[in-house]
Every structure is written in C-alpha cells, then in structure tokens.
Amino acid sequence: MEKFQFVTISHPDEIRDEKNQSQIRKHAIRSSLRKSRDGAEQRRENFVAVQVATNGHDLKMRQIRTGKVPMVIPPSSARADPFDALPGCPDRLRVLMGHKSAKQASEPVFCVGDSGQIFSQGMESVSQGAFTDPALLHALSLVLALAANKDVANLECLNHRGETLRNLAERMGDMTLVPKVSTLTAMLVLIGYEYRVNGSSSHAISLHIRAIDEVIKMSRKANVAVSHSIRRALFWQDLFSCLFVRTTRLLSHKNYPEFCWARDHNRSHTYVVPSGFLALAETAPIPFSTLLQDLNALCILVDSSCDPDSSPTDKLPIDNGQAWIESRLIDLLHESRGSKDNPPLYDACIFALFLSTYKLSTGIWEGCFIPEFCASQVLGFVTQATTDMMEPSKQDRESILWLLFVAGGLAQRSRTKSRASALISRLYYWDRVLEEQQQHAETWEHIRDTLKKFIWCRYSMEQKMVHFWKQLSRLAPTHS
C-alpha cells in the first residue's frame, strides 16, 4: 500500500523552504521508482520473454514463471455485481440473464431485457440492492436456469431451489423480523418455477400463495407498507397457477377494486356478443356472454385508439381491463373443469379468449410461455371435439377455423404453428372452406370476414393472422 507524507504549510512562501522542497523531491523519486518497479513486474507477469538462438535466426521462447496467481475479474462484474455483494457467482448470473429464453422467465414479477437489465412493474426496490438477499438471488437463478434448459429442471435448478427454500425457511422462521421486499419477491418467483415444472405439487403452490397473502396481511396490521406491485404479482401468480396446474383460486378480481372496470355508457353499442358466438352463448353460463361483450368492447376500443406504429400501453392503459376479463375467464375455466356437461369447444374458446386478451397489450411481457400453453390447450380441445364430430355444421366449421387461427396466429413457436396448420389441413371440413372461398380472387379477405364474426382486434391480431395464412396457403391443396 502506498504511503503518503503530507507537507504542512501556513504561508505560500513556506513551500519554497529548502527542507520542504527536499521532502517533496524525495517523495516524487520514490513514487517514480515504485511505478517503474510495478510496471516491470506487470510486464514480467503478462508477457513472454524470448531469446534468439546463437546459431541461427530462430526464436527461443521462454516464459518467466512467477509464484503469483493472477486475479481474474469476471467480465460481468461491473453489470451484475459491481461491489462484489452478491451471495453467488455474478458471472453465471450474467450468462443466464443473457440467454434468449430468459426474458420472460420471471413473469409476472419482472423481466430481463436484451441487454441483461432487469425491468419490473413498479418494484424498483427489487433491483436496488435486493439481490444481496440469498433467497432472491437463488430464486432468480432458479427460473433463469430453468428457462435456459427449455423448462426442464436439471441439477442446477434443483440446487438453486434447495437454497431458495432453505433461505426462505430461515427468514420466515424468525417471527421478530419484518419480511423484506426481496423475501416476498423470492417467494413469488418460486411460485412461477413450481407451476412451470411438470408434475409440480399444486399443494405446494397453494401453500406459498397463502403464505405470501398472510405475510401481506400481517404487514398491514403492523403498519408496514407493502408495495402494490407485490399484491398485483401475487394476484397473477394465483391466476396462472389455476390456469396451469388447476389450483383453487385464493384471490380474484373481487379482491382488487382497480380491476373492476365499469362499462362506458358512451360506447354501449360495442358491448355485444359477436355473431359467431351466439350459438355457443345460448348453452354456456350467463357470465360467458357478459364476458364476450366486455372483451368485444375492449377490442373495439383498442382498434379505435391505437395505430399500427404504437403500442396500446403508450396511449391506452388497458392492463386493468385485461385483468378484469382474464380473471373471470379463469373462474369459468375452473367451473368447467368441475363439470362434464360443457363440450370441448367451450373449453377451447376459454383458452382462445384468454390468449386473445393476453395479446391485446403485452407491455413488457413478450414471452411465449403463457401463449404457447394456451395455444396448445386450444389445439388439444379442437382435436378432441373434431374426433367426435361426424358432420360438422357451418357454424362449427367457422368456430373451429377461428380457434385454429388464434392458436396458430398468436403462438410464437414454430412447432405450435405447424401443429395448427396440420390440423387445418387434415380436418375433413377444410376442403369445404376453400371451396366456399375459391370463387373469390382475394381469399384472405373472405377468411378474415369469417374470423371477424368472433373476437377480433385488428391491431393485435390481423398482421399475425395474415402471416399465419401465408404459411397455411403454401400447405393447402390446390383447387382448380
């Protein structure tokens, strides 16, 4: 460590004193020699010395060995852990955050941008030093490692899950401590991992959801402020858990007054059931018709307020409206799962409506986990329904066409699109669809007219549907 000797003066003329000048010169000489010595030592450590052979012009290379071990600084330290404060490997965390599948791994808690930066909806305190909490660090590493391994748990995931649970147990075991935001966030992230992994216990997920809800209630009683975004993320984790692994809803839109949108009487003409759903709505529960009216009005609002070059969230914050509709859809799905009276096409419509609502405005969520799951469910129920149909009516053909276009057009993964295309091409009614349209020069426009009989949003759906139609047209049989 370099030592400094201060020269104290009380008047400017004292700097010219011979004794002071001598001390300054000696210090400058010592500093210069020290820098030269350090530079030479560094060159010996980082460069290779060479010698020229005496009987030729070949080079003889000789590396100078030193007893020092160079310190390797991870290239990610400036971004992930500038003060070496994380209770884990920052370089590994950076690698996971940079993986192409990591962006939506932590939905609905926060997402990872293309540059590795973390974005959250109102949870700024999460990214301001909270990753020094071991529970949150391991929880984040857990879901990122899962995403990097294509949603299949491996040994790294199991290690992080064990560390997350251990740290959470230690933290929650001390009843005298007020739970930190990072602790609640780690629990929320852990729930996301549980319902993403096949065979996860729905009991464990319900237990974690109840635990967070109880902690929030305890914090309120103790007059401890809890972020609104924590409550909001808990709502979505409860909803997604019911969607994926059929847990019983603990929270609903009824617990969140901000989600309950009142109808706009100035737009009363938009609250109608689309004509394509009229037959199904007659046999479906009454809330299904009301939900179709609200979703139809929301789609019209988006189309009338947004142009193709902007995002609905820029001008039109509709996330509460989306939550209002999606929460009721999950309630209908939960009721349908407990009943054997509803036809497969009804369940397929619920998943297709959820996917259509989700895609109205994605905000920071541009991942594919939730859309792919919904699309896969739609395709499964359509396959089940068409297996039992001997001769589908025109209404059934149009309904199935809309369902398959929603699944194939709004999905992102190529294998899901290919599966939807194969179903359309294989089903026996597809030839009829083409025959009905082949007299028209502009086939897509007439297919679009059929799709618009159902839930349709030009802003969020048309471009994707056109792209899917072009892929499908290349696979369709040629008609003379």
Q: So what's the pLDDT on residue 70?
A: 33
Please tell me which of 136-145, 222-231, 330-339, 400-409 the model is most confident about, judged by mean pLDDT: 400-409
Closest CA to 316 of 334, 300, 330, 302: 302
Least confident of 60-74, 189-203, 247-261, 410-424: 60-74
**Confidence at residue 67, expressed as pLDDT on a 0 to 100 scale:** 39
As a whole-number percent, the residues of the chain with pLDDT over 90 amount to 32
Residues 210-264 have pLDDT tens digits of: 988 888 887 777 666 677 788 888 999 999 999 999 988 988 888 888 888 788 8
CA distance 246 to 251: 14
At residue 243's C-alpha, the angle toward residues 241 and 248, to 5°, is: 60
Q: Is the pLDDT of residue 373 over 80?
A: yes
Tens-digit pLDDT profile for residues 311-366: 676 677 888 889 999 999 999 999 998 887 888 999 999 999 999 999 998 877 77
DSSP state, 259? G
Q: Is the dihedral of CA 349, 350, 353, 355 positive or negative?
A: negative
Inter-CA distances, 8 with 13, 15, 19, Å:
12, 9, 12
In the predicted model, is pLDDT for residue 38 greater than 70? Answer: no
Q: pLDDT value at position 356? A: 97
Q: Name, of 3-17, 21-35, 419-433, the range with top average pLDDT.
A: 419-433
Instruction: Establish how many alpha carbons lie within 13 A of residue 6's alpha carbon, considering only the half-sphere containing its beta carbon.
Output: 3
pLDDT tens digits, 40-76: 555 444 444 444 454 444 444 444 443 333 323 333 3
Confidence bin at 299 (pLDDT 50/70/90): very high
76-114 in b/e burial notation, b at 16+ Cβ within 10 A? beebbbeeeebebebbbbbbbbbbebbbbbbbbbbbbee
Neighbours of 284 (CB within 10 A): 20
> What pLDDT sits at residue 86?
53
Tokens of 96: 């996971």
Q: How confident is the model at residue 111 (pLDDT cuts 50, 70, 90)?
A: confident
**Contact 240/370 with Cβ under 8 angstroms?**
yes
Higher per-residue confidence, 418 vs 390 = 418
What Rg value do the Cα atoms of the chain yield, rounded?
31
Count of beta carbons in the 10 Å neighbourhood of residue 232: 21
Classify residue 104 by its DSSP letter. T
Q: pLDDT tier at 134 (50, 70, 90 boundaries)?
A: confident
pLDDT for residue 35 is more than 80:
no
Q: Which two three-digit tokens encode residue 169?
A: 């147990």
Cis peptide before 108, with omega less than 30 degrees from 0?
yes
Q: Which two tokens stand for residue 213?
A: 């809800």
pTM comes to 0.76
Report how far apart the first and last C-alpha atoms of the chain are (Å, whole number): 88
What's the rounded mean pLDDT across residues 263-283? 93
pLDDT attached to residue 218: 77
Judged against a pLDDT cut of 90, whether residue 407 lies above it is answered with yes
d(C-alpha 36, C-alpha 27), whole Å: 14
Check residue 371 and give its pLDDT.
92
Q: CA 440 to CA 6: how far, in whole Å?
A: 93
Residue 97: what pLDDT?
A: 76
In the prediction, which pLDDT does 24 show? Answer: 67
**Residue 47 one-letter amino acid:** F
Mean pLDDT of the chain: 77
In this structure, the strands spanning 59-62 and 49-52 are antiparallel
- Identify the weakest region by mean pLDDT among 232-236, 315-319, 440-444, 451-455: 440-444
